[in-house]
Amino acid sequence: MSLFETIQSDMYAAMKAGEKENVTTLRSAIAKLKDKKIDKRDDLTKEEEIKILQSLVKQRKESIELYIKGGREELAEKEALEITVYEKYLPSMISQDEVRIMVARIIKEVGATSMADMRKIMPLLMKEGAGRVDGKLAQQLVSELLG
């Protein structure tokens, strides 16, 4: 069963259970997945579906920051709940310590010595992490280890 089908099935279950917040969140994920499928004019791969859900999570995290700055905690909480729903469908993220080890190894492999080499490191790291590495964390660790 594809990720899309799983989400759709869970949405129907949430509708039957009367979980309005989950239904709304899952509907937005389904809509985004359908849009991308139409744009591509073919079925999405599992990796593409994961990437779309990760972008939804990233958008929610950015919204949370803005809502907190604007003093709208109730909206930030709503976004945080949506993140927890989306994360059920994503592979578990690699821990910060594991990412640090990966970054150090890639820096050594590439022979990076300065921040100018970040362009060499990040694509390798993100490819190896295969959607399980937080890009912001990775960038921060690369800066820390090279700086």
Each residue of 47-82: pLDDT tens digit?
899 889 989 999 999 999 999 999 999 999 999 999
Number of domains in the chain: 2
Query: Which domain, by its residues, includes 82?
Result: 3-87
Q: What's the mean pLDDT in 5-25?
A: 95
- Out of 55, 87, 119, pick the residue that ends a domain: 87
Q: What is the pTM of this model?
A: 0.75
**Helix (H) and strand (E) counts for the chain?**
7, 0
Q: Are residues 34 and 80 in the same domain?
A: yes
Q: Are residues 81 and 101 in the same domain?
A: no
| Residue pair 79/64 in contact by the 8 Å Cβ criterion | yes
Of 78, 83, 77, 23, whose CA–CA distance to 53 is shortest?
83
What CATH number is associated with residue 73?
Answer: 1.10.1510.10
Q: Write phi, then psi, for 90 (nearest 5 degrees).
A: -100, 150
For 83-142, what is each residue's pLDDT tens digit? 999 999 988 888 888 888 988 898 888 888 888 888 888 888 888 887 788 888 888 888
Q: Are residues 78 and 32 in the same domain?
A: yes
For residue 115, what pLDDT is reported? Answer: 84
Q: Are residues 130 and 61 in the same domain?
A: no
For residue 59, what pLDDT is reported? Answer: 95
Q: Are residues 26 and 81 in the same domain?
A: yes
For residue 67, what pLDDT is reported? Answer: 96
b/e sequence 106-133, b meaning 16+ C-beta within 10 Å: bbeeeebeeeeebeebbebbeeebebbb
Q: Are residues 80 and 30 in the same domain?
A: yes
- Out of 57, 87, 117, pick the residue that ends a domain: 87
Structure confidence at residue 6 as a pLDDT band (50, 70, 90):
very high
Q: Are residues 41 and 66 in the same domain?
A: yes
- pLDDT at position 23 over 90: yes
Sign of CA dihedral 127, 129, 133, 136: negative
d(CA 130, CA 116): 23
d(CA 65, CA 61): 6
Q: Are residues 69 and 102 in the same domain?
A: no
Of 39, 41, 85, 89, whose CA–CA distance to 60 is shortest?
85
